A and B are shown apart, each in its own frame.
Chain A
């Protein structure tokens, strides 16, 4: 059973560009979560989605960030007009209806 897949693993963007991060959950998992880790810090919750629904976006910055989990295809975290402070590791996790979340390898975003 393949684990949570994320791509790309590394992404370099210039200030003002858009970043799109993709996450395919584990087979059978219908719950997807996005977290961000800044250097030397723990992971911070951003958003929780189920298919076609945003359940909890309390950790998402109010501007430039959006997330979706369409009926078909991976979940997408989109960052518009990136700034240097967006440089971080972005982790996706998935879970069945139970509480345990399983994480992907992360996407490391570097904004130049």
Chain B
């Protein structure tokens, strides 16, 4: 049973445009959400997070939106740059437990 789902395996956008990566979850106990970026043969790099008490968090070009009623979150990257090309993982946790549950990832390709 996949508790965190990233339904788009890949996404291609033009440099300078907005990239929107989506993530759905089923476990209502999840109260903290994170996005990681991963290059081949490297570990995941933390990008941005959001607590369930908020519906938006922004850090530079990255914004995460959380819709608790829909159990949906999204990561917006604007403007997209070729260096953003990587696999993006959504992760969720119940802060009482700490173990992260990851989605299967979305491969973002930013075309110059």
Contacts and interface: CB of A to CB of B under 8 A. Distances in A.
Given A42-B103, A99-B93, A48 B43 contact: no
A35 B100 CA distance: 9
Given A99-B32, A99-B93, A103-B36, A45 B101 contact: yes
Counting chain B residues whose Cβ lies within 8 A of the other chain, the interface size class is 20 to 34
Residue from A41, A56, A95, A103 whose CB has the most chain B CB atoms within 10 Å: A103
26 contacts: A6-B43, A33-B98, A33-B99, A33-B100, A41-B104, A42-B4, A42-B102, A42-B103, A42-B104, A43-B100, A43-B102, A44-B102, A45-B101, A56-B99, A91-B43, A99-B34, A99-B95, A100-B34, A100-B46, A101-B34, A102-B46, A103-B36, A103-B45, A103-B46, A105-B41, A105-B42
